[in-house]
Amino acid sequence: MGEVTVPLGELIASERSTSAAMSDVRDRTSDVRTGGSGAGAGAGDVRPGRPGRLKVYLGAAPGVGKTYRMLDEARRRAARGVDVVVGFVECHGRPRTEGMLDGLEVVERAQWAYRGGEFEEMDLAAVLARRPQVAIVDEFAHSNVPGGGRNPKRRQDIEELLAAGIDVVTALNVQHLALNAAASLGDEVRAVTVCNPDPEDRAQLYALERDWARWDPGVPLIRLTSERRALGRPIAAYVGEAAAAVPGTRVTVLIPEAEPDRLWQRLLQNQRGAVVAHAVRKDTDAVICRLRFLI
């Protein structure tokens, strides 16, 4: 996991091109850190006409410690006398991360009803009214509940905070950049995985589906079955059917890979992912994007 401090436009640019956006981030990070009111003296001063600064914790996958690091920074800033509030964080039930909220001011979340359920989102109006120097806002790429709040995307909420002169610390997974890049390469985006009867594979599949649902990228994960240990052919057949349904459509295929924590298992998993991608490319003209999840 790394951290970068960038203008908001650099992250929004990722919707046009992942590689270009990340290149822009690398090129401009040093300038932003050393210019004006960075993360040192004078950081977080709310001054009319001065847009806030955006700091992003960029992680390779969910669960690598981005939220913990954000809250640790919030505590350190507060200890230096900076006015910090937590606009929204998602601890995912991790006790150590939840413990980092102790002593920090947390803005109460807004409650929204949607499709028979109750959902919590950041209360943007409350954070703007509070006018802190720094706001901690987790999950930069999150989509707000439809009809809840005044913006469909959390990045738009963050943009309003920055426009009000409030510095924002947020977090983003590399997968979100990859997803935006995938969407720009094809007409249809499909996320596909293959399940076979092997108990170990099924355990990995359940963990992958759990993490995919937690990530909630807006693309449903489609489970294909294969009684034999064939992986590429079922996906190629599915992509062929999807493309045939709408002639002239290029399909972008996301292949999530559940990456185990043992090195030998990772090597095997990486080889399997490469085999699947090769098989699909050989039989279709689909664009293939592989996304790795640590489980």
Angle at 70 between CA 69 and CA 71, to 5 degrees: 90
pLDDT value for 160: 97
Spatial separation of the C-alpha atoms in residues 165 and 131, rounded to whole Å: 9
pLDDT value for 257: 66
Q: What sign results for the dihedral spanned by CA atoms 185, 24, 156, 289?
A: positive
What are the structure tokens assigned to 160, written together? 């309003």
- pTM: predicted TM-score of the whole model, two decimal places: 0.61
pLDDT value for 98: 95
What are the structure tokens assigned to 243, written together? 């493309």
Spatial separation of the C-alpha atoms in residues 165 and 180, rounded to whole Å: 28
Per domain, the residue ranges of the chain are 2-176, 186-294
55: left (phi over 0), alpha (psi -120 to 50) or beta: beta
pLDDT value for 5: 45
pLDDT value for 25: 37
User: Do residues 155 and 122 touch, judged by C-beta distance below 8 A?
Assistant: no
Nearest to 251 by CA among 288, 214, 291: 288
Residue ranges of the chain whose pLDDT lies below 70:
1-49, 61-62, 186, 196-201, 214-216, 227-231, 257-277, 279-286, 288, 290-295
Over 79-125, what HEC string results? Answer: HCCCCEEEEECCCCCCHHHHHCCCCCEECCCEEEEECCEEEEECCHH
pLDDT value for 72: 96
pLDDT value for 262: 52
CATH number assigned to the domain covering 2-176 = 3.40.50.300
- DSSP letter (8 states) at residue 46: -
pLDDT tens sequence across 33-57: 333 333 333 444 555 568 999 999 9
User: Do residues 238 and 224 touch, judged by C-beta distance below 8 A?
Assistant: yes
Q: For residue 165, give the 3-state DSSP assignment.
A: coil
